[in-house]
């Protein structure tokens, strides 16, 4: 797991308000950082694997990155989307306007939760995507 993925995972898994809304997988919160997820994983769970975009954010005197990552939230399709929306809102709260320290980076990433969108769910599941924008500037 990369330092960036680890920091995102740790932020999610370290919040008991969020983890109380998820199932567990082998004693850990059901937060997966690789695809495909295990077939025996039970809903509700979160999937966040890899960046969807990484753009240089450099100036004449500094180097930086702008990174976008999706955090996908899934729950059982019960006839109400309240549960999946609670999970997605909590994910948004955890990252919006939060400085995320990442091992190997001089400065923290400043996070912005850009949006919550409906995700295509698997059969019998509801999904939401929280797209998070991370920006860091490193001193030269």
Would you list the domain boundaries of the chain? 3-139
The DSSP code for 2 is -
72 has pLDDT over 60: yes
Q: What is the pLDDT of residues 22-52, one digit of tens each?
A: 999 999 999 999 999 999 999 999 999 988 8
β-pair partners for 132: 69, 113
Rounded CA gap, 59 and 4, in Å?
22
Rounded CA gap, 30 and 43, in Å?
8
Nearest to 13 by CA among 33, 34, 41, 42: 33
Q: What is the pTM of this model?
A: 0.90
CATH architecture type of domain 3-139:
2-Layer Sandwich (3.30)
Q: What is the pLDDT of residues 83-139, one digit of tens each?
A: 999 999 999 999 999 999 888 777 788 899 988 898 876 778 999 999 999 988 775
């Amino acid at each position: 797991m990369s330092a960036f993925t680890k920091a995102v995972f740790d932020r999610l898994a370290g919040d008991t308000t969020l983890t109380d809304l998820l199932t567990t997988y082998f004693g850990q919160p059901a937060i997966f950082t690789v695809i495909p997820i295990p077939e025996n994983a039970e809903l509700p769970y979160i999937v966040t694997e890899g960046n969807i975009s990484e753009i240089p954010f450099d100036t004449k005197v500094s180097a930086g990155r702008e990174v976008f990552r999706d955090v996908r939230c899934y729950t059982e399709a019960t006839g109400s989307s309240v549960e999946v929306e609670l999970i997605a809102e909590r994910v948004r709260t955890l990252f919006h306007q939060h400085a995320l320290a990442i091992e190997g980076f001089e400065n923290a990433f400043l996070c912005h939760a850009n949006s919550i969108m409906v995700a295509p769910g698997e059969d019998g599941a509801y999904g939401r995507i929280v797209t998070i924008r991370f920006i860091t500037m490193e001193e030269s």
